[in-house]
Amino acid sequence: MAQTKNSPDSLIRLRTIAVKTLAQVFNSTQSLEQSFFEEITRKSDRTLPEFERAWIYELCSGVIRFRGRIDYIIDTYALKKKPTGPLRRYLQTAVYQLIEQDVPSALPVSETVQAIADTEGDAPSKFANALLRKVADSREEWKNWKINADSPHAEQLAWSSLPDWLFFSLRKTRGFDWTMAFAESCLKRPQTWYRKLDSEEPMLLENGYRGDEPPGFVQDISNQMLLKEVVAYLRATGKQAKDLRILDLCSAPGGKSLGLAVSGFNVEATDVDADRMQRTIENSNRLGFQNQIKIRPYIEVQNDASLYDLIWIDAPCSSTGIIRRHPEVKWNRSEKEIAKLVLIQEELLKWAMKHLKQDGAILYSTCSVMKAENSHELPNGIKEAGSWEWFPQISPFGDAISAKLLLKN
């Protein structure tokens, strides 16, 4: 994003809001959207124009995406004492602009130094001035920084801008080349894909969602491709759509149910998160699918003895496959969470098996790249009949989706 035409004082103030937003993201498990919303609506003393909001959000999301590289650069020049707290956050915003934005070096350097002087004092501002000038002098070298399999592990980790647990796990299970390609893809913003109500073919929105599209809804290309596979399976059963009983067990925010409804199927939708289910309800009502998508309370479904032709489990997962859309995911997840999630996923599979018709199927999917979340030992009586994987570094460059079609033996 180009530099704004706001006054220097205004930009310094916006940078301070960005720093507070980043602190909230990095010191909690909140999403960037939630932290940003809280900072500009509850804590800011005035309403920000849309352009200023966009400037702050771009700065924050950029820092979060490139945090590993940015911190490595900062620490390369901070030899005696590594900066922490707000000082590091201010430096992160300036270094991001220097290595990823097409702005004159003097602008982010001077604005950041002044912001630090105003909020942290003279000594930190002098430290920042010296460090940022060194970064600016080597700006082109950092922009063109490359690594390979023989580079020191610390450099590989920093270049990837992934947390150490995720980087080393992926490198071990998927190899160096795959991990680096995936890491690089996570630094890029995703394309916006759309599902029209009168078509089953994906529609790329070159300029993002504008609100004047034909009737439909935004849905990532990988999810649309998986939906096509599921629809093909359902149609191949030879049963009429009206005779199939389908459960979307982890429905929110409703894209799977909507996709199935567009293709002519009736769906029962539920989710343990009642608040997020509101989006399913809103989307269903907005697009006129109230009669095809039946919203059911989660506890009601769990206690029901009904049997289904298809149970779709889009399981709770680490969300490591949607880092491009939600870059904070890579920093607010931990390795310990994976083991807990695997247990939840296995319980969902066991429940689903008990609620299948004799010729029924489970569609198990995640938006995770972790093999532990996608390679469960299957319950007795279930066999794998198909599998699919899409990754953001491989065409068509959507979310990472892993899915398996499971049938009763």
Q: Which residues are catalytically annotated?
A: 367
Q: What is the largest CA-CA distance in the chain?
A: 75
Q: Report helix angle 85-100 to 106-119, nearest 10.
A: 170
d(CA 224, CA 228): 6
With H, G, I as helix, E, B as strand and everything else as coil, classify residue 252. Answer: coil
d(CA 218, CA 322): 15
Reading the block at residue 104, the tokens are 């004159």
Measured over the CA atoms of residue 67, residue 49, residue 45 and residue 42, the dihedral's sign is: negative
d(CA 298, CA 302): 6
Reading the block at residue 140, the tokens are 């082109």
DSSP string over 353-397: HHTEEEEEEEEEEES---GGGT-PPPPTTEEEEEEEEE-TTSTT-
d(CA 134, CA 89): 18
Enumerate residues 6+ apart whose C-beta is below 8 A from 161: 65, 66, 67, 68, 69, 183, 186, 187, 330
d(CA 333, CA 228): 31
